[in-house]
């Protein structure tokens, strides 16, 4: 594993819910990142976020790590759950609430 992969692996192992986003939850710098952080805040779960705009290595590395071309990206318990569309769809259908409950995260 290269350094960036090890670092990402460490991030997603250390915290139960991890959001890789553009900007921060308080000051999102992209509409999609904003939506996802709002969903997580609405769920009332604890999550860690990383601002890829401040970290070019992470910004490119996370795309390869997840085999996913866009940011934001959400990981729960080390598993890649999806980007904005999937998180939104899961939230609207109630699946996301169910998932965090199943994992004991709320």
72 cis-preceded (ω within 30 degrees of 0): yes
Q: Is 84 annotated as a binding residue?
A: no
Q: State in angstroms the smallest separation of the CB of 62 from another protein.
A: 11
Q: Which of 52, 94, 100 is nearest to 72 (CA)?
A: 52
Residues at the contact surface with another protein, assessed by CB under 8 A: 32, 63, 67-70, 80-86, 89-90
Query: What is the Cα–Cα distance from 16 to 48, expressed in whole angstroms?
Result: 8
Q: Which is nearer to another protein, 90 or 100 (CB)?
A: 90
Q: Closest CB to another protein among 44 and 93?
A: 93
Nearer to another protein (CB atom), residue 43 or residue 90: 90
User: Looking at 1-106, which runs of residues are DSSP E strands?
Assistant: 17-21, 48-51, 73-76, 79-82
Asked whether the beta carbons of 34 and 46 are under 8 A apart, the reply is no
Least CB distance to another protein at residue 69 (A): 3
Q: Residues annotated in the binding site, as ranges?
A: 30
Q: Residues annotated in the binding site for [2Fe-2S] cluster, as ranges?
A: 30
């Amino acid at each position: 594993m290269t350094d960036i992969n090890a670092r990402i692996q460490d991030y997603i192992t250390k915290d139960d819910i991890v959001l890789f986003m553009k900007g921060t939850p308080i000051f999102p710098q992209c509409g999609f990142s904003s939506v996802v952080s709002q969903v997580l805040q609405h769920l009332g779960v604890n999550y860690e976020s990383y601002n890829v705009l401040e970290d070019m290595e992470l910004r490119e590395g996370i795309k390869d790590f997840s085999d996913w071309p866009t940011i934001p990206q959400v990981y729960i318990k080390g598993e890649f759950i999806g980007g904005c569309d999937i998180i939104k769809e899961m939230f609207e259908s109630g699946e996301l609430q169910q998932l965090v409950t199943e994992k004991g995260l709320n």
